Amino acid sequence: MTTEDVRESRRVVRLYSFEVDQRLPSGNDAHRLGQALAQDRGDIQAVTAPWRKFFDPWSPVGSSRDPITQVIEVESARLREKWMAFQGNCPKEDRLDLLKYEPTVEGVVDMVGDITKNWQSRREKGKTGKASMLFHRFCRTLNSHKNLISILPESNEYVSIFTGTLNSIIRASANHERIAEGLSEGLCTISEHITDIQGDLELFRTESMLKLVADLYEHMFLFLASTMDWIMEKRRKKLLDSFNESFNDRFVGEIRTIKVKAERVRNMAAQISQAEARVTRLTVEDLDRDVRLGLEGDARHQAEMRYFAEKIEKELIEAQRERRLESQRIKQLGNYVKLLLEERATGWMAHHRVHLKVRTAYHLVSNSGLTRC
């Protein structure tokens, strides 16, 4: 099994997810699994032309901008412009191969895996061990970043811009040890609190949380744009490998600011989760005591009205909780189905390649025998 097999299997499964509604219609035994697979399939262009949105201007859906995401829309557009200049400025040995890697979480993980293998094959053991370890640690936070961005409107666009830019910057740093070490350390510092954010993401869609998340990634996008500017400036002055100014020296202030903003998001998420747990506890406790007990006349009537109002409210809360749990179950099921299909697709491609080699060898031997005759 090769890395290319794994990448191609992902692509095949994602393409299949756009056809699953027709292939497994309602009434089919596997319809439920098909729905789970299709839930997070995104846009078909993300599969057929994953980098297109980096070259084509993009505008949010709707005639008016959402005030919460207005700034991140601007920073996203500026980051895309910076990326185009950066990609064009990179020499071939530092430039990201757009045909090999995609602007996805998996694309960043693949990139880090490949540059780590390259370091191990051509350098002394341990020379780039720090950068390799830190890049891999950062990769373990990427799904948390993706999940957090997903609560924002137009989140698919922001995830693509975020991961695509990371791919290009990490690739550009691969041949410059000091930059790679500084970049990987900075990314890990920024992401320190992201993995601590636990709970139901649906609960996080409050105005306060949306503002904090948008503010966090506005500054993250600004940091990535500044990183590309700094690398291009160092390259222009032929100082990429100099000891004049390290990555950490240049970006210590920005990294500290983003870390503080990530900590605020984590604290808000913890407060929301605690509040939800408290509501659940109080709801259970209230069920143990009927508000109508011991009352008569108007007081009894008012208590009856309050009782039924609270009962309806509790039923609505419970229904909302059940819907969230169902959504989580379907998403988890979709991930299992996707992994299973990717494994099957990878195995099929490996088998097909072996079969093709055998057939080719057979034809070569046959043709060789005919030639001798």
| pLDDT given for residue 60 in this prediction | 60
Q: Are 1 and 346 in contact (CB under 8 A)?
A: yes
pLDDT at 262: 92
Confidence band, pLDDT 50/70/90 cuts, at residue 63: very low
List the one residue out of 194, 211, 77 whose CA is nearest residue 147.
Answer: 194
**What would the mean pLDDT of 320-340 be, rounded to a whole number?**
67
Q: Does this model's pTM top 0.75? A: no
Q: What is the pLDDT of residue 149?
A: 93
pLDDT, greater one: 316 or 140: 140
Highest mean pLDDT among 78-82, 198-202, 276-280: 78-82
Q: Is the pLDDT at 157 greater than 80, yes or no?
A: yes
| pLDDT exceeds cutoff 90 at 329 | no
* Helix-helix angle 3-17:297-372, to 10 degrees: 130
Average pLDDT over residues 227-250: 81
Instruction: Check pLDDT > 50 for residue 339.
Output: yes
Nearest to 139 by CA among 175, 112, 176: 112
What are all long-range contacts of 329-333, with beta carbons under 8 Å and residues at least 24 apart?
330/35, 330/36, 330/39, 331/36, 331/39, 331/40, 333/32, 333/33, 333/36
